[in-house]
Structure 1
Amino acid sequence: MNSADRFPETPTKFIETLDSESFKAFLHALSHSRYQEGQLLSFTLPIAPIDPLAALELHEKKSERFFWDHPGNNISISAAGKVKELKATGAGRFDEISKKTRELKKKISAYTSITHSMAGPLFLGGYSFGDHNISPIWKKFGAARFILPEWTLVKTGSRYLLTLIIEREEKAIHDIYTEIIERVTDFLNISGKAGSSCTRQNSDEQNILCNFQRVNEKSRWIDRVEKAKKHISEKDFEKIVLARTVEVKSKHPLNPTLLSYHLRQSYPECYNFIVQIDDDTSFIGATPERLASFENGVFKTEGLAGSASRGKSASEDAAIAQSLMMSEKDLEEHQFVVRAIDDSLSPYSYKVDHPNRPQIKKLNNVQHLFTPISASIKEGVQIHDLLKKLHPTPAVGGYPKTDSIPHIQEIEQIERGWYSAPVGWYNLNGCGEFAVAIRSALLHKNHAHLYAGCGIVSDSDPESEWDETLMKFEPMTNALNEL
């Protein structure tokens, strides 16, 4: 190795893996490989424990941030910055994202100091509910958008993995090594801040929330439910999900990481997520519904439909759960979901497994009928193939899908954007996880658009469905009131 290839001393034992012979051999091989335009370098190494949400809060850049957390699944991901962006629109958007990922994969050279399914580049983002997404408040998100971030921090079990993405350009190997050291050191400084400082996220002034629900909103909702039931009685479809939105204005700018902190504390059974597009605009939620997880050829999803409130005592809570398990209306609504998932997965799977009867999933303020579903997936099937087939499930769309979906926007008269659509992550190791983005809100400066929906079947009661939307707004309104 000549003098130009000498590596500077690493500043801490914490990154001593960057002094390893295997890492230097990787760089040496890279130096002798032909430079490819647009080539990206990925470096993954273990790092000391730090809450990924805290790392996100303390990172100086506020735009292009992502957070994913499910304490029950013992996984948490945060990421920031944007090296590459994958976008698509129209009916072929799932296939296009899959194609663009394969093309970009060819340009990535990856090094990892640890063998793990979560090591290496992650793509983070999601899809809109419809094939196109051009409404003013949602336009920045697009119909399908995933980023390859500058850095990703993954907590999986007791491991913490940091992945950095660097654009190779025509940099000398020495310069690449120096850049890695500088960026890891910057991240260690963030870790140090998390362990030694306590930063207040809002002022001592009381926050004031104003609800901008439209006049006659309840009567409008009842009219829409009756219109949907008329379609059902005329055999246009068997079930449709209708959503509504309310706008909330805060006295202070809304902080997505602080909101997510409150949601995580209150709803540890849920997928807590942030997709932040710029300094002012974020999509955030705490959703109980997994759409898809994929690892080692095993696919997991779930049916989640049929809802009831929680009780004020243990006996009342048990009685409500029992009533939900016996409710013909809710069981019918739930069965539509399970049947549709079975039909969607069958062409891609050797076998689909699930219990014959639903269970109860209890959250902080609501309980649902719930059926866990797993499937062994045929070789060559990609996660975007399954997302395309599953979305939207009858839990957020309707049944049959082709008959009900065209009527949703016509009846709802709102723009869903990414609400009730797939949000999540995937990597190049065949792993990925997506949730259905319900119990969510679009944030812009000091405004929040909150979304909630209900499944409408033949015997739905409009008043009860209205009350259900109020119950489903609670996670976000409670978190906003904590600010």
Structure 2
Amino acid sequence: MGITLPLALFEQAKRHATKDKPALLSWVHECPQDLAPHLLYQKAKDAFSGERFFWQNPEMTLTLAGFGVTEQYLAADKAKDAFSGLEDKINALKLRTVTNATEKGTGPLYFGGFKFDPERETDKEWQAFKDGLFYLPLFLVTKKGKEVFLTVNLVVYPDDEVKKLEAVRGQWEKIIDAKRPEMEVDALITAKELETDEFLENARDIIALLKDSEDLHKVVLSRRMGLRFSKQIDSGAVLQKMMDTQENSYFFVMEKGAALFFGATPERLVAVSEDKIHSSCVAGSARRGSTKEEDEQLGNALLKDAKNLREHHYVVEMIEETLQQFADDLTISSEPVLLKNRDIQHLYMNVHAKKRNDVNILQIARALHPTPALGGSPKDLARAIIRMKETSDRGFYGGPIGFIDTDFDGEFAVAIRSGLVIDALGVLYAGCGIVSDSVPEEELQETKVKFQPMLRVLGGNVE
């Protein structure tokens, strides 16, 4: 599939550029509707391994696949909040961009995520991601409904020649013409639960704190599963397995050199489209049944369970109070329903509001994160206890992950049901909400259930 070179737009970008401040040429080309973003992600492996990402929303109405990194934002400056740093980066980018983009989800768009707790020292395995990492891709394939678009983001200097465009077109044609690589996820050697005794001890300590405190209501405690593979796994195969085995989830993968962060999360943090805000309240969980009758029984019990309903209420209350600072006409579902994934089901409610003119999605995401579903209630106190009790850095687990454009429209999910693999070693994460009437052994069992989706994706044994 050839792409027409945007010669007039290229000349405009050259006029807009200076030697010290190059322009960004972001041109959009409509593609055949049978072009599949996840297949292109796989075909781009040889050319752009370590520089790819993929995103798909649960409704499958928007899919993004990016490869190549034209620019990146790495939040390594502890003196500046990562959300504010990205906001500054996007504002500066918009001033130097020349684009023909008219469709949302195309044009200059950053994809990436933020660390769960920037106040915590970054562990070795998360060093490449720091407090936040976002890519502006060289190639972005966007599927909206049935329509497919290619965005090419290219830095342009005043003296650039057309051969620069021709070289990029050649790169794209190599991807299109490449064979789909052989993919397999069968290299898992060991999967070992970590910190089991510490988790139980911490849960008991936190329950005691909750019973003694009038201010503390909930703390989300997490733990890890260590993974070892016989070889470096293929992120395209991981993506395909997630799409084949999971449902009602955001699918995301993000490569950073030899590191791969991936997941299939059911939880939206916030989406902004023009003046509309969407969020969701996901908390409380139960396993899926092995039969239709058992599944219905477990789901009905979850809808009536006082502990899980209380956990869910903390999330609803916090999201409602937070969004009232940024929005008007806020509406929330009247009562929770069941959100069912393959291995687990949750209590779920929708939230909609009208955004005020003077705020943007990054400000909203920063205020919402972490919700009581991933941190606890109240937020600051719960996160301080997590910092004290958990010996390992969560990294991007539980943090916001998603995309944002230069109009500050975009969407962030909460990066749960996720894992990190570097070369042939990896770790999965799972957490659960501890409240005053929690039973530590039951919470441990809940985390076992939450390991299962990604363990299944990686070829491990599931219960």
Query: What do the CA deviations read for 1:95-145 (whole angstroms, capped 9, x no partner)?
Result: 221122101221211134xx3122311101110001245211111101022
Query: What do the CA deviations read for 1:357-397 (whole angstroms, capped 9, x no partner)?
Result: 11110110110000111111101211100011000000000
Look up the equivalent residue of 2:181 and give its one-letter code.
T
Q: After the TM superposition, which residues 388-427 of structure 1 pair with which residues of structure 2 at under 5 Å, given as runs?
A: 388-427=366-405
**1:199 aligns to 2:181 (yes or no):** yes
Report the alpha carbon displacement of residue 422 of structure 1 after superposing the two structures with TM: 0.4
Report the alpha carbon displacement of residue 80 of structure 1 after superposing the two structures with TM: 1.7
Whether contact under 8 Å (2:362, 2:408) holds in the other structure is no
Distance 1:190 1:32, change over 3 A: closer
**1:87 aligns to 2:74 (yes or no):** yes
Which residue in 1 is equivalent to 2:48? 61
**1:134 aligns to 2:122 (yes or no):** yes
Which residue in 1 is equivalent to 2:104? 117
**1:232 aligns to 2:210 (yes or no):** yes
Query: What do the CA deviations read for 1:181-203 (whole angstroms, capped 9, x no partner)?
Result: 4423432342333xxx4532249
Whether contact under 8 Å (2:27, 2:152) holds in the other structure is yes
Look up the equivalent residue of 1:343 and give its one-letter code.
E
Q: In structure 1, the residue corresponding to 2:283 is in which secondary structure?
A: strand
Distance 1:25 1:259, change over 3 A: closer
Distance 1:181 1:467, change over 3 A: same
Report the alpha carbon displacement of residue 252 of structure 1 after superposing the two structures with TM: 2.0
Instruction: Give the TM-score normalised by structure 2.
Output: 0.93
Give % identity: 28
Report the alpha carbon displacement of residue 33 of structure 1 after superposing the two structures with TM: 4.8
Which residue in 1 is equivalent to 2:131? 143
Whether contact under 8 Å (2:188, 2:460) holds in the other structure is no
- 5+ residue gaps, structure 1, are 1-11
Query: What do the CA deviations read for 1:187-231 (whole angstroms, capped 9, x no partner)?
Result: 2342333xxx4532249xx634212434xx433221111111111
Look up the equivalent residue of 1:41 and give its one-letter code.
L
Which residue in 2 is equivalent to 1:104? 93
Distance 1:472 1:168, change over 3 A: same
Which residue in 2 is equivalent to 1:368? 346
Whether contact under 8 Å (1:254, 1:447) holds in the other structure is no
Measured in 2, the distance between the counterparts of 1:100 and 1:29 equals 22
Aligned partner (choices 139, 142, 158) of residue 146 of structure 2:
158
Measured in 2, the distance between the counterparts of 1:255 and 1:168 equals 33
Aligned partner (choices 25, 43, 46) of residue 41 of structure 1:
25
Look up the equivalent residue of 1:50 and give its one-letter code.
L
Whether contact under 8 Å (2:14, 2:156) holds in the other structure is no
Which residue in 2 is equivalent to 1:257? 236
- 5+ residue gaps, structure 2, are none
Measured in 1, the distance between the counterparts of 2:14 and 2:445 equals 64
Look up the equivalent residue of 1:143 and give its one-letter code.
D
Whether contact under 8 Å (1:211, 1:246) holds in the other structure is yes
Distance 1:323 1:124, change over 3 A: same
Whether contact under 8 Å (1:72, 1:268) holds in the other structure is no
Measured in 1, the distance between the counterparts of 2:68 and 2:360 equals 26
Q: In structure 1, the residue corresponding to 2:325 is in which secondary structure?
A: helix
**1:188 aligns to 2:173 (yes or no):** yes
Report the alpha carbon displacement of residue 32 of structure 1 after superposing the two structures with TM: 4.8
Distance 1:330 1:254, change over 3 A: same
Distance 1:32 1:369, change over 3 A: closer
Instruction: Give the TM-score normalised by structure 1.
Output: 0.89
**1:51 aligns to 2:24 (yes or no):** no
Report the alpha carbon displacement of residue 73 of structure 1 after superposing the two structures with TM: 3.3
Aligned partner (choices 432, 440, 448) of residue 462 of structure 1:
440
Which residue in 2 is equivalent to 1:5? none
Q: In structure 2, the residue corresponding to 1:481 is in which secondary structure?
A: coil
Measured in 2, the distance between the counterparts of 1:229 and 1:161 equals 51
Measured in 2, the distance between the counterparts of 1:306 and 1:411 equals 22
Query: What do the CA deviations read for 1:283-341 (whole angstroms, capped 9, x no partner)?
Result: 11111111111102111111100000111211111111110010000000000000000
Distance 1:93 1:198, change over 3 A: closer
Look up the equivalent residue of 1:334 and give its one-letter code.
H
Measured in 1, the distance between the counterparts of 2:446 and 2:407 equals 40
TM-align CA RMSD: 2.0
Which residue in 2 is equivalent to 1:436? 414
Look up the equivalent residue of 1:266 and give its one-letter code.
T
Whether contact under 8 Å (1:291, 1:434) holds in the other structure is yes
Measured in 1, the distance between the counterparts of 2:15 and 2:325 equals 45
Which residue in 1 is equivalent to 2:335? 357
Measured in 2, the distance between the counterparts of 1:83 and 1:25 equals 21
Look up the equivalent residue of 2:344 and give its one-letter code.
V
Q: In structure 1, the residue corresponding to 2:141 is in which secondary structure?
A: strand
Q: In structure 2, the residue corresponding to 1:147 is in which secondary structure?
A: strand
Q: In structure 1, the residue corresponding to 2:419 is in which secondary structure?
A: strand
Distance 1:305 1:237, change over 3 A: same
Report the alpha carbon displacement of residue 399 of structure 1 after superposing the two structures with TM: 0.4
The higher radius of gyration belongs to: 1
Look up the equivalent residue of 2:91 and give its one-letter code.
R
Measured in 2, the distance between the counterparts of 1:352 and 1:138 equals 37
Distance 1:224 1:29, change over 3 A: closer
Whether contact under 8 Å (1:209, 1:481) holds in the other structure is no
Q: In structure 2, the residue corresponding to 1:463 is in which secondary structure?
A: helix
Whether contact under 8 Å (1:273, 1:285) holds in the other structure is yes
Distance 1:293 1:55, change over 3 A: same
Report the alpha carbon displacement of residue 240 of structure 1 after superposing the two structures with TM: 0.6
Query: What do the CA deviations read for 1:224-255 (whole angstroms, capped 9, x no partner)?
Result: 11111111112151001000011110112112
Measured in 2, the distance between the counterparts of 1:31 and 1:415 equals 45
Report the alpha carbon displacement of residue 398 of structure 1 after superposing the two structures with TM: 0.5
Look up the equivalent residue of 1:224 and give its one-letter code.
N
Segment of structure 1 superposing worse, 48-57 or 61-70: 48-57
Which residue in 2 is equivalent to 1:292? 270
Look up the equivalent residue of 2:221 and give its one-letter code.
L
**1:209 aligns to 2:197 (yes or no):** no
